Structure 1
Amino acid sequence: MEIKIGVRSVNREIVLESDLTAEEVEQELRNALAADRGVFSLTDVKGTRYVVPVASLGFVELGEGETRSVGFGGSL
């Protein structure tokens, strides 16, 4: 699943691929929002961990991952 995280005062969003379901990501977000000075953290499919203080969260967008083809399309 593709996840986009918007961080306040940062022009670029964080985009990552995760094996979690939308429900699991939403539960992680709810847990982070419920904690005092909580942090929202996720690990992508490559093992990179992203940690964002919930006070800095702008948005979290959940979507289906894109299937990308390998190779070159078209003819020469």
Structure 2
Amino acid sequence: MEIRIGIINTGRELSFETHTAADEIRGLVTSALEQSTPIVSFTDVKGNSFIVPTANIGYVELGTEESRRIGFVG
């Protein structure tokens, strides 16, 4: 699943693929924002970690969990 996070006052967004379910990501972000947790962290499919300050999150876009199709459509 692809995750895109918009950061306030930054022209680029953070975009990465993860194996974590959309509901789990949604819960993680929602709980961090509700509890005023200073940071939220994510791990991508390659094992890289991303630490994002919750005060700077503009938006979080969760992609679909279906796999990408490869090849030609006939």
Q: Same fold (TM over 0.5)?
A: yes
TM-score by length of 2: 0.81
1:27 match: 27
Stretches of structure 2 that go unaligned for 5 or more consecutive residues are none
> Alpha-carbon deviation of 1:37?
4.4
SS class of match (2:11): coil
1:41 match: 41
1:67 and 2:62 aligned: no
CA offset digits 1:9-63 (Å, max 9, x no partner): 1111010101111100011102211333421210001011111111100100001
Say which is worse superposed, 59-68 or 37-46, in terms of deviation: 59-68
Q: What residue identity is the alignment partner of 2:24?
A: E
Q: What residue identity is the alignment partner of 1:67?
A: R
Q: Which runs of 4+ in 1 moved over 4 A?
A: none
Stretches of structure 1 that go unaligned for 5 or more consecutive residues are none
Q: Distance in 2 between matches of 1:61 and 1:34?
A: 18
Identity within the alignment, %:
38
TM-score by length of 1: 0.79
Q: Distance in 2 between matches of 1:36 and 1:14?
A: 21
Length, aligned pairs only: 71
